[in-house]
Structures are given as C-alpha cells and as structure tokens.
Chain A
Amino acid sequence: DTGVSQNPRHKITKRGQNVTFRCDPISEHNRLYWYRQTLGQGPEFLTYFQNEAQLEKSRLLSDRFSAERPKGSFSTLEIQRTEQGDSAMYLCASSYTMSTDTQYFGPGTRLTVL
C-alpha cells in the first residue's frame, strides 16, 4: 500500500494559463475526493467520485474547474484561465466504502498563480 500520490508537488503558472493536476489513490479505494486549502484555513471540499462517476460538486468549483476519473482509477483536476485567487494547496483523498470510509490524504499540489 503506497498511499495517495499527487503530481506535480508544486506548480507555478502565470495568470490565464491552464493547469492540470493528477491524483493516484490507494489501490482498490473506490472513492476519490478533491479539496482546496488556503493559508491559515482548513481544507475545503471541492468534488468527489465514486468509481468513475462524479457524484458531488461544491459551490466552490467554478466553471473553470473540471475533474475526471476515467476508469475509476487516477483522477485529474484541471483549472482553466487561472486567476491569482486560485493559488492554494490542492489535496486529494481516497477511501474505501466497504470499510470505515476513512479518508487518506495525499501530499498535495501547491499552486502559485503569478
């Protein structure tokens, strides 16, 4: 069990550019979550997948954000036309609903928009 992994760990981009992050969950975990954390705050829920189906989206997830989980394995989070307000840590978590549904978090991708 290698844990949840995220790539890249850091991303610096210019305002207006598109960025894509990847999350690889713990194998056999059927749920995958995305969160965003800004400085001094707790993480905030963005969206989650059960297998390949995206079942919930937070109001925080604007039209510029899109997430996919093809084949129910890894997931990608894309932000189009980035804004300075998108600068944050993007965290991914996974869980296994046939167990306690404990969410395990990856190390995060820190995005800086210049």
Chain B
Amino acid sequence: NAGVTQTPKFQVLKTGQSMTLQCAQDMNHNSMYWYRQDPGMGLRLIYYSASEGTTDKGEVPNGYNVSRLNKREFSLRLESAAPSQTSVYFCASSEAIQENSYEQYFGPGTRLTVT
C-alpha cells in the first residue's frame, strides 16, 4: 500500500499562474482533506470531501477550488496564484468523517513557492 500520494513534490509558480495539485489514496477511505502548513501556524484545513461526490469549505478556502474525481482522488486547484499561497500543502484521508475513529493519514506534501 502506498497510502496517500501527492504530485508534484515541488512547484514554483509566478503570480497569476494556475496549477492543480493531485492527491490519491489506496486505503479505500471515504473522506479526504486538503491542508496548508505555514511556519508557526499549524495545519489549516482548506477544503474537505466527506464522501465521493461532496466537497465543503474549511477554514481557509479563498483562492482555491477542489474536485473529488472519484473515491481515490481529490485535487486542489489554484486558479490565479498569489505569493500568500506560498506554503506546504498536504492531502489526507480518513475512513469516514462521521466515525469516532477519525484518524487522518497524510501524504508527503507539495512545497509550493509563488514569486
């Protein structure tokens, strides 16, 4: 099992460019999440998908869009990148958002720099 995989690992964008971060999990999990991690601020939820076919905003959704392509895949899109979106992005998955056993399993991250 690969667990949660993310592509690309690194990316440099210029202000105004767009890109899509890809995430896939092979644990048959129902719920998937996108976080960003900034120094001293902890992980902050951008968007989540409780189950296939649904998506909802998290704490910091502005400037991002998501697509739950199928049960395995959840992508994050930056339509017009800004320097404030320079961060490390993590995808995570869990069995089900309703369950008490709610452990989330994280991918290796994408390090994005916007100049």
Indicate whether A and B interact.
no
Residues of chain A touching chain B, judged by Cβ–Cβ distance below 8 Å, are none
Residues of chain B touching chain A, judged by Cβ–Cβ distance below 8 Å, are none
